[in-house]
């Protein structure tokens, strides 16, 4: 039976349909068949492993730091995901003006959006945990069915957290800025656990030992992280313990209800601000204009301004590098002789330059203006590639110079492979262009066609070259071959893309 | 119909046998058009007639399947830089840089056309004051309304003082006051000896401003001339009391 048009279940189905439209066509069947097979094997694995594995799982519950820690790590990633969903669903989506001008109660619209966020958040934990529930039922452990309400409660709780954080940002910053801030916040939440786990690696040995002792004390019976700690109730709820399960359901459902009740008015006003565009951002400017001369200078400044002023781009670019920070710390501690430091920095430099080149070349906002200007496209593209490479080179150069007297080979390797990786990444974007929007930077490897894979191959080649320079010269032909293959593929494979992207504006010149 | 009373050398724009297909659809079909320097020319046609495709080929944004286009004697394919340096193209939905201010945008456009910095700065101030955007010169373009963006794009098109302006629906989104100033500016610009080619669906604009009008249908020019010449073609009365351009246009573009 179909729900009545205009009711909240009807709107919820509409939301779900829109969510599934994202995986339509051939991808849908690929995901459905692949996912179905995987889920079947997960059931089979759980059913096979449960007789021997159940005592192990109960044992883990006695030392709860693993299961409980895993739960909170996963929950933090889900909150990160729900913030992104909340930003899209509550601020960005273009159908909000239609929905809010309809006779549907605004609270219902908000509630349904919240439920849709929770449903999206439930997908992955349900996929991961429910095979255990089903296998448990068949193996005589019906208490594992508690995973069903636990997954629902977790999804509702994470949705509540995502909505509350997003709406708080709307309240503090306004809808326009909250959109970017939400995306930055989500990325930070996503990496914070990863960085936290790396802390012991960057501590001196003595302090690491002290931290280890302290943690041991805390997981004992009467410690802060002991088996009785409320922190591990989610794990105990998964084993069907009544009180922790009820508490989790109350926390998830109650938190969701509270979040919806407290923030929906902000949703309405924030949405109006988004729809009407809000107040324009004002920047100080006084007196008569002073213009620069020369195409190269003007173009470079334009590209750098656009990157630095776009918080979304800055965050998406720089946060990727956060994952590499702990390794760089290790490298600095052990000096340039460390096997990892040069390859890691080469990887980071190539990634950053690739991102910037994608922004400057593929995410050009006014391609028609450039195409109608009396300037050769090849020159414009050269400057755009330089705009991507120069800032990263400026970061790399001081480090290489600092290393030069201490370790000339590592310094030269860093400079050569770093510059090579950056230049290759930029050239691949120029040679295999595919127009995109700046906001799609995060997904450029997925949406950018073969260029993403080619760029990855090139970066791996340069990382390999850096490793070879550390004394494994026999592998150098393979690493250099990967780079050559990537550049060749970008040049020959990108001929059509160059012609399509740069049109009649001298398409082959674009590759010059 | 083709205007052949002028050689391509002395024309602001000379288009010959221009064709473009998208798959099986022929968008522009052997189009000929000559526009003398110093003329205000309107290119009219129903939706999908091929106006925008024609303008985009002339501006160098699309490569024609066949045919040529020359701007002040410079072939757009062979001497693209020379042709583009005297031309400005304003698309129907101009894309601007959201995170630049109007002054920074104009600085960038002036740099592309190699306008000396001092002259560009002076001209930018004049244009922004005239278009009533000087007060917004320090704001990011992303906060601008549709009309403000259109005015800024127009300022960008004019900062290098082109001899030929190709404008695709230039008055879209402008309020009455801004539309009037743009129209006045275009007339003054043509009086100085420059050339304007404009498309519009608001026929009153073409009727009031254009010296000659071309009507395009199915990728071809089906009629061309002054308003009275077009009236004569349809058998309507000429002169101020004659048929409106709307009547003439509907008659000439009526499906067979």
On chain B, the residues whose CB falls within 8 A of the CB of A310 are: 99
B78 and B16 within one domain: yes
Closest of B11, B43, B14, B49 to residue B29, by C-alpha: B49
Whether residue B167 lies within 8 A of chain A, CB to CB, comes out as: no
B78 and B55 within one domain: yes
Whether residue A295 lies within 8 A of chain B, CB to CB, comes out as: yes
Q: Using the beta-carbon criterion (under 8 Å), do A281 and B81 form an inter-chain contact?
A: no
B128 and B27 within one domain: no
**Residue B185 placed within a domain:** no
Whole-angstrom distance, CA of residue A188 vs CA of residue A318 = 11
Whole-angstrom distance, CA of residue A106 vs CA of residue A118 = 18
What does the pLDDT read at residue B153?
93
Task: Supply the range of the domain harboring residue B198.
Answer: 1-86+164-174+194-256
Residue range B98-110: mean pLDDT, rounded: 89
Please check whether residue A462 is in contact with residue A417, taking contact to mean a CB–CB distance below 8 angstroms.
Answer: yes
Q: Which of B52, B103, B111 would best serve as a mutation to test chain A binding (most A beta carbons within 10 A)?
A: B111
Please check whether residue A182 is in contact with residue A278, taking contact to mean a CB–CB distance below 8 angstroms.
Answer: no
Residue B3 has pLDDT above 60, yes or no: no
Whole-angstrom distance, CA of residue A357 vs CA of residue A428 = 9
On chain A, the residues whose CB falls within 8 A of the CB of B136 are: 280
What does the pLDDT read at residue B231?
86
- Residue window 16-35, chain B: list those with CB within 8 Å of chain A: none
On chain A, the residues whose CB falls within 8 A of the CB of B92 are: none
Number of A to B CB contacts under 8 A, please give it: 134
Q: Using the beta-carbon criterion (under 8 Å), do A374 and B97 form an inter-chain contact?
A: no
How far from chain centre, in Å, is Cα A487? Answer: 27
How far from chain centre, in Å, is Cα A433? Answer: 23
What does the pLDDT read at residue A42?
93
Please check whether residue B45 is in contact with residue B51, taking contact to mean a CB–CB distance below 8 angstroms.
Answer: yes
ipTM for the complex shown: 0.79
Pairing between strand B195-199 and B164-168? parallel
On chain A, the residues whose CB falls within 8 A of the CB of B87 are: 372
Burial pattern A429-444, b for ≥16 Cβ within 10 A else e, equals: bbbbbbebebbebbeb
Closest of A81, A45, A46, A70 to residue A186, by C-alpha: A81
- Residue window 76-135, chain B: list those with CB within 8 Å of chain A: 77, 80-85, 87-89, 91, 94-101, 103-104, 106-114, 116-118, 120-121, 124-125
Whether residue A309 lies within 8 A of chain B, CB to CB, comes out as: yes
User: What share of chain B has pLDDT > 70, as a percent?
Assistant: 94
What does the pLDDT read at residue A22?
59
Over A397-453, what HEC string results? HHHHHHHCCCCHHHHHHHHHHHHHHHHHHHHHHHHCCCCCCHHHHHHHHHHCCHHHH
Counting other chains too, the contacts that B5-8 makes at CB distance below 8 Å and 24 or more residues apart are B5/B34, B6/B34, B6/B36, B8/B34, B8/B70, B8/B73
Closest of A238, A214, A201 to residue A64, by C-alpha: A238
Residue of B nearest to A294 (CA): B111
Whole-angstrom distance, CA of residue A269 vs CA of residue A272 = 5
Tell which of B113, B140, B161 closes a domain: B161
Whole-angstrom distance, CA of residue A29 vs CA of residue B125 = 58
- Residue window 263-282, chain A: list those with CB within 8 Å of chain B: 277-282
Whole-angstrom distance, CA of residue B116 vs CA of residue B205 = 34
pLDDT tens per residue, chain A (512 residues)?
Answer: 677 777 788 888 888 877 776 555 556 777 788 889 999 999 999 999 888 888 887 777 666 677 777 888 888 888 888 888 888 787 777 677 677 777 778 788 888 889 999 998 999 999 999 999 999 999 888 999 999 999 999 999 999 999 999 888 888 877 767 777 777 777 777 667 666 766 776 677 788 788 888 877 777 766 777 777 888 889 889 888 899 999 999 999 999 999 998 888 777 776 666 655 544 454 545 456 667 778 899 999 999 988 888 877 777 776 666 665 655 565 556 555 666 778 888 988 898 899 999 999 988 888 888 888 998 888 899 999 999 999 888 888 888 888 888 788 888 998 999 999 999 999 999 888 888 888 777 777 766 667 888 999 999 999 999 988 877 788 889 999 999 999 999 988 888 777 766 654 543 433 33
Helix (H, G, I), strand (E, B) or coil at B13: strand
B168 and B156 within one domain: no
Q: Where do we find the tokens 């916040």?
A: A185
CA distances from A15 to A285, A386, B161 (A): 45, 44, 51
- Residue window 364-403, chain A: list those with CB within 8 Å of chain B: 365-376
B82 and B120 within one domain: no
Number of domains comprising chain B: 2
Number of other CB atoms surrounding residue A285 within 10 Å: 14
Residue of A nearest to B101 (CA): A283
Backbone φ and ψ for B42, nearest 5 degrees, come out as -110, 135
What does the pLDDT read at residue A217?
76
Task: Give the number of C-alpha atoms closer than 13 A to the C-alpha of residue B246, restricted to the C-beta side.
Answer: 5
- Residue window 348-367, chain A: list those with CB within 8 Å of chain B: 365-367
B168 and B57 within one domain: yes
Least CB–CB distance from B111: residue in A284, A295, A371: A295
**Residue B32 placed within a domain:** yes
Closest of B42, B68, B47 to residue B57, by C-alpha: B68
Distance from CA of A420 to the nearest CA of B (A): 30
Whole-angstrom distance, CA of residue B200 vs CA of residue B218 = 17
B104 Cβ contact list (under 8 Å, min separation 6): A302, A305, B97
Q: Using the beta-carbon criterion (under 8 Å), do B104 and A305 form an inter-chain contact?
A: yes
**Residue B204 placed within a domain:** yes
Whole-angstrom distance, CA of residue A168 vs CA of residue A173 = 8
Distance from CA of A371 to the nearest CA of B (A): 6
Q: Using the beta-carbon criterion (under 8 Å), do A291 and B120 form an inter-chain contact?
A: yes
Least CB–CB distance from A373: residue in B62, B103, B113: B113
Residue B134 has pLDDT above 60, yes or no: yes
B38 and B100 within one domain: no
Please check whether residue B131 is in contact with residue B151, taking contact to mean a CB–CB distance below 8 angstroms.
Answer: yes
What does the pLDDT read at residue A506?
41
**Residue B12 placed within a domain:** yes
B143 and B154 within one domain: yes
Residue B152 has pLDDT above 90, yes or no: yes
Whole-angstrom distance, CA of residue B187 vs CA of residue B71 = 20
**Residue B187 placed within a domain:** no
Least CB–CB distance from B95: residue in A282, A365, A375: A365
B103 and B220 within one domain: no
Whole-angstrom distance, CA of residue A501 vs CA of residue A508 = 11
What does the pLDDT read at residue B162?
94
B232 and B243 within one domain: yes
B100 and B47 within one domain: no
Q: Using the beta-carbon criterion (under 8 Å), do A374 and B111 form an inter-chain contact?
A: no
- For residues A100 and B143, the model is more confident at B143
B109 and B40 within one domain: no
Least CB–CB distance from B99: residue in A291, A309, A503: A309
**Residue B145 placed within a domain:** yes
Please report, for the domain that includes residue B238, its CATH number: 3.40.50.300
Closest of A288, A252, A325, A276 to residue A174, by C-alpha: A276
Q: List alpha helices for B23-168, DSSP H.
A: 51-58, 80-85, 102-112, 117-130, 146-158
Backbone φ and ψ for B221, nearest 5 degrees, come out as -80, 120
Question: pTM above 0.80?
Answer: no
Least CB–CB distance from B100: residue in A288, A291, A306: A306
Q: Using the beta-carbon criterion (under 8 Å), do B106 and A504 form an inter-chain contact?
A: no
**Residue B36 placed within a domain:** yes
What does the pLDDT read at residue A150?
95
- For residues A65 and B51, the model is more confident at B51
Q: Using the beta-carbon criterion (under 8 Å), do A285 and B137 form an inter-chain contact?
A: yes
DSSP secondary structure, A449-489, as one string: THHHHHHHHHHHHHHHHHHHHTT-GGGHHHHHHHHHHHHHH
Q: Could you tell me which residues are beta bridge partners of residue B36?
A: B11
Q: Which of A504, A508, A509 would best serve as a mutation to test chain B binding (most B beta carbons within 10 A)?
A: A504
What does the pLDDT read at residue B168?
92
**Residue B211 placed within a domain:** yes
- For residues B234 and B8, the model is more confident at B234
Closest of A378, A115, A410 to residue A264, by C-alpha: A115
What does the pLDDT read at residue A342?
84
């Amino acid at each position: 039976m179909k729900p009545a048009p205009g009711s909240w279940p009807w709107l919820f189905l509409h939301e779900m349909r829109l969510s599934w439209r994202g995986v339509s066509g051939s991808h849908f069947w690929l995901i459905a068949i692949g996912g179905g097979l995987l889920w079947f094997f997960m059931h089979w694995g759980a059913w096979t492993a449960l007789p021997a594995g159940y005592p192990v799982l109960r044992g883990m519950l006695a030392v709860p730091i693993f299961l409980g820690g895993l739960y909170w790590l996963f929950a933090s990633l889900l909150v990160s995901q729900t913030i992104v969903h909340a930003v899209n669903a509550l601020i960005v989506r273009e159908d909000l003006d239609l929905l809010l001008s309809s006779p549907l109660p605004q609270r219902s619209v908000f509630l349904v959006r919240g439920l849709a966020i929770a449903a999206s958040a439930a997908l992955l934990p349900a996929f991961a945990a429910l095979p255990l529930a089903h296998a448990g039922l068949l193996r005589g452990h019906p208490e594992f069915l508690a995973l069903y309400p636990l997954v629902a409660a977790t999804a509702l709780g994470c949705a509540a957290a995502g909505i509350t954080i997003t709406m708080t940002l709307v309240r503090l910053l306004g809808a326009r800025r909250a959109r970017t801030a939400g995306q930055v916040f989500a990325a930070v939440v996503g990496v914070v656990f990863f960085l936290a786990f790396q802390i012991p690696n960057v501590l001196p040995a003595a302090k690491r030992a002290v931290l280890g002792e302290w943690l041991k004390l805390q997981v004992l019976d009467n410690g802060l992280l002991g088996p009785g700690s409320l922190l591990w109730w989610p794990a105990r709820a998964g084993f069907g313990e009544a009180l922790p399960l009820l508490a989790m359901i109350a926390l998830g459902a109650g938190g969701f209800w509270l979040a919806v009740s407290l923030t929906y008015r902000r949703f309405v006003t924030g949405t109006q601000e988004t729809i009407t565009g809000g107040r324009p951002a004002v920047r100080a400017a006084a007196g008569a204009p002073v213009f620069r001369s020369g195409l190269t200078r003007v173009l470079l400044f334009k590209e750098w301004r656009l990157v630095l002023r776009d918080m979304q781009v800055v965050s998406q670019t720089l946060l990727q590098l956060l994952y590499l920070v702990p390794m760089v710390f290790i490298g600095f501690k052990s000096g340039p002789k460390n096997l990892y430091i040069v390859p890691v920095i080469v990887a980071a430099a190539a990634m950053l330059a690739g991102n910037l080149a994608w922004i400057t070349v593929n995410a050009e906002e006014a391609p028609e203006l450039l195409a109608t200007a009396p300037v050769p496209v090849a020159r414009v593209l050269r400057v755009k590639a330089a705009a991507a490479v120069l800032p990263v080179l400026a970061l790399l150069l001081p480090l290489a110079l600092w290393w030069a007297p201490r370790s000339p080979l590592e310094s030269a390797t860093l400079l050569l492979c770093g510059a090579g990786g950056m230049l290759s990444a930029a050239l691949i974007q120029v040679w295999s262009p595919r127009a995109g929007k700046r906001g799609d930077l995060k997904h450029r490897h997925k949406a950018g066609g073969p260029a993403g894979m080619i760029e990855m191959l090139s970066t791996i080649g340069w990382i390999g070259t850096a490793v070879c320079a550390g004394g494994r010269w026999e592998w150098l032909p393979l690493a250099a071959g990967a780079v050559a293959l990537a550049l060749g593929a970008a040049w020959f494979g990108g001929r059509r893309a160059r012609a399509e992207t740069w049109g009649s504006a001298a398409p082959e010149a674009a590759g010059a | 119909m083709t205007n052949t009373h002028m050689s391509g050398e002395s024309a602001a724009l000379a288009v010959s046998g221009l064709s473009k297909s998208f798959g099986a659809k022929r968008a522009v079909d052997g189009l000929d058009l000559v526009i003398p320097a110093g003329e205000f020319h309107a290119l009219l046609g129903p939706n999908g007639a091929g106006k925008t495709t024609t303008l985009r080929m002339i501006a160098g944004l699309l490569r024609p399947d066949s045919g040529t286009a020359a701007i002040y004697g410079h072939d757009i394919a062979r001497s693209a830089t020379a042709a583009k340096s005297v031309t400005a193209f304003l698309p129907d939905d101009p894309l601007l840089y959201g995170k630049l201010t109007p002054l920074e945008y104009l600085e960038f456009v002036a740099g592309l056309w190699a306008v000396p910095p001092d002259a560009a700065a002076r001209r930018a101030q004049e244009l922004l004051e005239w278009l009533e955007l000087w007060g917004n010169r320090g704001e990011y373009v992303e906060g601008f309304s549709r009309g403000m963006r259109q005015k800024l794009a127009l300022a960008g098109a004019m900062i290098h003082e082109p001899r030929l302006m190709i404008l695709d629906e230039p008055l879209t989104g402008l309020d009455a006051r801004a539309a009037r100033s743009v129209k006045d500016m275009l007339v003054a610009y043509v009086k100085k000896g420059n050339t304007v080619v404009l498309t519009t669906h608001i026929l009153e604009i073409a009727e009031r401003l254009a010296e000659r009008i071309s009507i395009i249908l199915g990728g071809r020019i089906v009629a061309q001339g002054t308003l009275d010449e077009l009236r004569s073609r349809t058998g309507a009365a000429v002169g101020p009391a004659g048929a409106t351009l709307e009547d003439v246009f509907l008659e000439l573009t009526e499906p067979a």
